[in-house]
Amino acid sequence: MKNTKKIAFGGIISALSVAILVIAAYIEILDISLVVTVSLGIVFMEIEYGTGASISCFVAVSFLSLLLLPSKIPALLYICFGGWYPVVKKYAERLPRLLEWVVKMVLFNGALGAYGYVTIAVLGLVEPAAVLKITLLIMANVAFVVYDFALTRLITVYVRKIRNRLGIK
């Protein structure tokens, strides 16, 4: 019975995630914020059913979004960052604080570099000027830190106040 619930919950999270990413593909101004919203599904999977289930959900959403989305930008954002980060966050936060942030920042900037490479080299988007690249990099890093703190708060609220009321497990 527990396995059935896990599969059903993963299917619901995956379907909702792909549906939200479809919206992000059509309303391009919302693509980053909707990818962040979709990453909450991975957070819930990680909390309720563990790393294996959350990675399975990530793979399913990644595959379906690449297959179904008319614009691949939200899918790439999800694959390069939004989908795997909640799982990595769980393990990074077990490290000493300084090492935790070094790991998080290195992984984020690596993912950002991979995203930039794919969008420019593979999808053919125009490469921004050097000054704009530096500005975007700084802004992205600040946004990432804010996202990390906000995600920590949301996880805390979910675990302490919401989780028991839902009765998922």
Q: What are the tens digits of pLDDT across the range 132-144?
A: 778 888 999 999 9
Bigger pLDDT: 150 or 169?
150
- 3-class secondary-structure state, position 131: helix
Number of structural domains found in the chain: 1
> Residue 65, class by beta-carbon neighbours within 10 Å (0-12 exposed, 13-18 middle, 19+ buried)?
buried
Q: Which domain holds residue 70?
A: 2-166
Could you tell me the pTM of the whole model? 0.88
- State how far the Cα of 145 lies from the Cα of 153, in Å rounded to an integer: 13
In eight-state DSSP terms, residue 125 is P
